[in-house]
Structure 1
């Protein structure tokens, strides 16, 4: 069957399907005509043509359109979700950066504030009071002259009377200036307390009249002189008044 289409009209999908339906119907009719009624032993077959309508074609079109629409909607939804996820991630990153920037700014502000805080100057410690200077000890010669002079300074500080000449005169008579002299023959020696040192003083007398600040050794020249002068001042008023054994 041939149809003439005038003008520039295009065949639509519906037209194509209608043409197919007509062709199928014509084929069915040809099959029905091919069976002859003269063949008695052969049953006749009545083929009924299948009718295709525009309604069926429209239903198929609707289903196809719905599938396309569903696919398009799914694609649109997926794109929208991807866009929303990207926006959410960008917002989370922006929030995290803003929080980090704020924390850094707060820390820097605190550091600047601390740097600007004036430091109270430390109160200078009061200097420790200077220790009293040790008295300068007068230098004395280590001989009879030096021993007598040192003894006179000590006696003067203790208000014990004596003179250089009175001391030297008695020293020369008693020991001739030997600080290690000892008498081992007189009555004191016999009694076990020999006289010792420059002015030949016995231990009990030395201990009783010892002058504070001097040695406790009766052979020490200064200790021997000062103890002997202290004894003489008590018994005779001064060593100057002693002219013999005392």
Structure 2
């Protein structure tokens, strides 16, 4: 297979399952083109040990390429722990690796599994908050300035840093708007990565992630994108699924401000 293929399963009470259908195709740092190597943020889905290795390799390649990183200008590292290693046996390695990232973002089931627990009757907010605080207490990022962002399906996301805790709702509150949740988590973290690079504000970044995810789950497959040109002049305006991303973000900001 040209790419790794996987299976996502969904059931009642926010139940989710995942398994690989083909051998994993491992992406390595050497695969990054110079353009991608210069990114302001990186989303890593991998084991704890590989996360630390990849971050160091990215920084080494950037140093060799003259990107001029400093402590203040290093790229933002967002880590999504690989689901099958969210186990109590990997908890110590997970806590150690958090020191090298700016954001750790498991979903609610993966976070619970790290501590040998589960959500038996839907999303348990108290359990999410307890586990997120346990991660935060160990320190995330340089100077313990990082964040935990827990993705919790229709309940939205929970954000925890040393300075704030905050729940944000999912963008879609009408369940009929959700056609297929596949890709919602990756869409969220892509939006979060862009938001952090642009604003440096974890809550605003999570809003951007929520809006990005909303477009991923409105249909089977990828969203439709159209561009309108103002008579051939000016900046083209994009519409996703027939709506303006900026207008949707503004509306969501008004709901959650």
Per the shorter chain, which TM-score range? under 0.3
TM (normalized to structure 1)?
0.20
Larger radius of gyration: 1
Which protein has the bigger strand share? 2
**Which structure features the higher share of helix residues?**
1
Q: TM-score, normalised by structure 2?
A: 0.20
